[in-house]
Structure 1
Amino acid sequence: MFVRHLSLIDFRSYPEAEVALSPGITTFVGLNGQGKTNLVEAIGYLATLGSHRVANDAPLVRAGAEKAYVRAAVVRDGHEQQLELEINPGRANRARLGRAASTRPREILGTIRTVFFAPEDLALVKGDPATRRQFLDDLLVARQPKWAGARADYDKILKQRNALLKSARQGYDRGALEATLPVWDEHLAAVGANLIYARLRLLHDLRPFVAQAYDEVSAGQGDAALTYRGSLHVKLSESIASGDVPTVEEITAGMHETFAEVRRQEMDRGITLVGPHRDELVLQLGDLPAKGYASHGESWSFALGMRLAAFQLLRHDLGTDPVLVLDDVFAELDAGRRRRLADMVGDAEQVLITAAVADDVPEALQGNRFEVTKGVVAPASSLGIGSDGGQHPAGDQT
Structure 2
Amino acid sequence: MLRRGGRGRRPAEGASAEEARESVLHTLHVWDGHLAGLGAQLLYARLRLLRDLRTHLDHAYREVSGGAGEALATYRASLTQGLNARIAAGEVPEIDELSAGIVAALAEVQANEFERGQCLVGPHRDDLVLALGEMPAKGYASHGESWSFALGLKLAAYQLLRTDLGTDPVLILDDVFAELDSGRRERLAALIGDCEQVLITAAVADDIPKSLAGQWFSVTKGEITAYPVAPDE
Within the candidate set 42, 47, 61, 1:195 is matched to: 42
The offset of 1:223, in angstroms, is 1.1
What's 2:73 paired with?
Answer: 226
* 1:213 and 2:56 are equivalent in the alignment: no
1:179–1:360: structure 2 CA closer, same or farther, 3 Å change rule?
A: same
Partner of 2:168: 321
Alignment match, 1:255: 102
Residue 87 of structure 2 is matched in structure 1 by: 240
SS in 1 for 2:218: strand
- The CA deviation string for residues 82-107 of structure 1, in whole angstroms up to 9 with x for no partner, is xxxxxxxxxxxxxxxxxxxxxxxxxx
- Superposed, which structure 2 residues align to 1:4-83 within 5 Å? none
Separation (CA, whole Å) in 1 of partners of 2:5 and 2:192: 49
**Structure 1 gap segments, 5+ residues each:** 1-157, 168-172, 382-398
- Name the aligned partner's letter for residue 211 of structure 2: A
Partner AA of 1:206 in structure 2: L
Matched residue, 1:356: 203
SS in 2 for 1:378: strand
Contact residue 229 and residue 240 of structure 1 kept, 8 A: yes
Is 1:337 matched up with 2:184? yes
Determine whether 1:379 maps to 2:220: no
Higher relative contact order (CA 8 A, sep 6+): 1
Q: Deviations over 1:283-309 (max 9, x none)?
A: 121112111221221111111111111
Any idea what the Cα deviations from partners look like across 1:108-149, whole Å, max 9, x if unmatched? xxxxxxxxxxxxxxxxxxxxxxxxxxxxxxxxxxxxxxxxxx
CA distance in 2, matches of 1:326, 1:208: 21
Q: Report the Cα distance in structure 1 between the residues aligned to 2:115 and 2:212, rounded to whole angstroms.
A: 57
**In the superposition, relative to structure 1, how do residues 255 and 359 fare at CA in structure 2: closer, same or farther (>3 Å)?**
same
Distance 1:165 1:337, change over 3 A: farther
1:308 matched residue in structure 2: 155
Letter matched to residue 93 of structure 2 = P
- Name the amino acid aligned to 1:369: W
- Secondary structure at the counterpart of residue 364 of structure 1: coil
Q: Does the 8 A contact of 2:189 with 2:209 survive in 1? A: yes
> 1: CA distance between counterparts of 2:38 and 2:206?
49
Pairwise CA RMSD: 1.8
TM-score by length of 1: 0.52
Q: CA deviation at 1:378?
A: 3.4
Whether 1:204 aligns to 2:51 is yes
Deviations 1:34-83 (A, max 9, x none): xxxxxxxxxxxxxxxxxxxxxxxxxxxxxxxxxxxxxxxxxxxxxxxxxx
Residues 361, 174 of structure 1: alpha-carbon distance in 2 compared, 3 angstrom cutoff: farther
Match of 2:118, SS state, is coil
Equivalent pairs, count: 216
Pairs within 5 Å for 1:293-304: 293-304=140-151
1:186 maps to which of 28, 33, 41? 33
Taking the aligned partners of 1:220 and 1:303, their CA distance within structure 2 comes to 15
Contact 2:77 2:87 in 1 (8 A): yes
- The residue type equivalent to 1:207 in the other structure is R
* Residue type at the aligned position of 2:75: Y
The amino acid of 2:177's aligned partner reads F
Tell me, which stretches of 5 or more residues in structure 2 are unaligned? 8-19, 229-233
Tell me, yes or no, if the aligned pair for 2:144 and 2:179 is still in contact at 8 Å.
Answer: no
Amino acid at match of 1:349: E
Q: CA deviation at 1:174?
A: 4.9
User: Which residue number in structure 2 is paired with residue 391 of structure 1?
Assistant: none
Q: TM-score, normalised by structure 2?
A: 0.87
Q: Structure 1 165/296 Cα, relative in aligned 2: closer, same or farther at 3 Å?
A: farther
After superposition, the Cα gap between the structure-2 partners of 1:246 and 1:373, relative to the gap in structure 1 and judged at 3 Å, is: same
Structure in which a larger fraction of residues adopt strand: 1
Alpha-carbon shift at residue 187 of structure 1 (Å): 1.1
Quote how far apart the aligned CAs of 1:377 are: 3.0
**Partners of 1:165 and 1:271 within 8 A in 2:** no
Contact 2:5 2:25 in 1 (8 A): no
Say whether the 8 Å CA contact 1:225–1:283 is kept in structure 2. yes
Partner Cα separation in structure 1 for residue 186 and residue 21 of structure 2: 62
Q: 1:46 matched to which residue of 2?
A: none
Q: Residue type of the partner of 2:169? A: P
Query: 1:274 maps to which residue?
Result: 121
